[in-house]
Amino acid sequence: MQQYGYIRVSTRDQNPERQFLAMQSRGIPQKCIYLDKMSGKDFQRTGYQKLIKRLKKGDLLVIKSIDRLGRNYGEILEQWRKITREIGANIEVLDMPLLNTAVGHDDLTGVFISDLVLQILAYVAETERAFIHSRQSEGIAAAQAKGVRFGRHKKEVPEDFQQYYRLWTQGEITVRQAAEKLGMSSSTFYRRCKEEEKCVTKGRKNETPSSNAFL
């Protein structure tokens, strides 16, 4: 039986040292430890895919905690079944001793208990996500009913914006120069100028008298 360790951190800035120490204390050699530095949203990860190709029947895969395997419990269940049933390897989760298919494996007790615990965890996680989504939707609906608007708030333009807007339209100043004077980025100044042009154009259309006005 060969033992393998799998380590995952969500970003390249996170330190996987704690997980490495856990693997080493478990007696897993460095060459048998696979690492991914990316999100756990799915299992399309280089380290994990290499590990799966090496796993054989009777081998043991060790992980520090179940969320190091992934975040999506539906996909975790799928991978769990693939490893324990299709490949025939065992899985041990160090932070949760009940998730250890190697315990009582001869009479399938370990596999049964681990599958049962994982199913419960998946149910709890899915239910919690549904509750959170429901509470968020209810909160948003209640806030909107009170007139609260969501999304990014548009920053107020500086007091001198109209002055520099006129200078820009008259060709007396460049976008960059105007933006620097106002303490804005060039793209923001230009966007606000275009918004101002639309307002001016719309205002002129509204002021245009109809043909019946002179009758």
Please tell me the number of Cα atoms within 13 Å of 105 on its side-chain side: 16
As a dihedral over the C-alpha atoms of residue 107, residue 121, residue 11, residue 27, rounded to 10 degrees, the angle is -30
Q: What is the pLDDT of residues 15-64, one digit of tens each?
A: 899 999 999 999 999 999 999 998 877 888 999 999 999 999 999 999 99
Residues 83-130: pLDDT tens digits? 988 999 999 999 888 888 887 555 556 667 777 887 887 777 677 667
End-to-end CA distance of the chain: 99
Cβ atoms of 185 and 192 closer than 8 Å = no
State the sign of the Cα–Cα–Cα–Cα dihedral 204, 206, 211, 215. negative
What is the per-residue pLDDT for 205?
62
Q: Which tokens in the block code for residue 84?
A: 């324990």
Which one, of 132, 123, 134, 6, lies nearest residue 60 by Cα?
Answer: 6
Contact 97, 87 (CB under 8 A): no
User: What are the structural domain ranges in the chain?
Assistant: 3-127, 152-203
pTM score of the predicted model:
0.57
**Would you state the structure tokens that stand for residue 94, as one six-digit string?**
């160090």
According to CATH, the superfamily of the domain at 3-127 is: Resolvase, N-terminal catalytic domain (3.40.50.1390)
How does DSSP classify residue 32?
G
65 included as an active-site residue? no
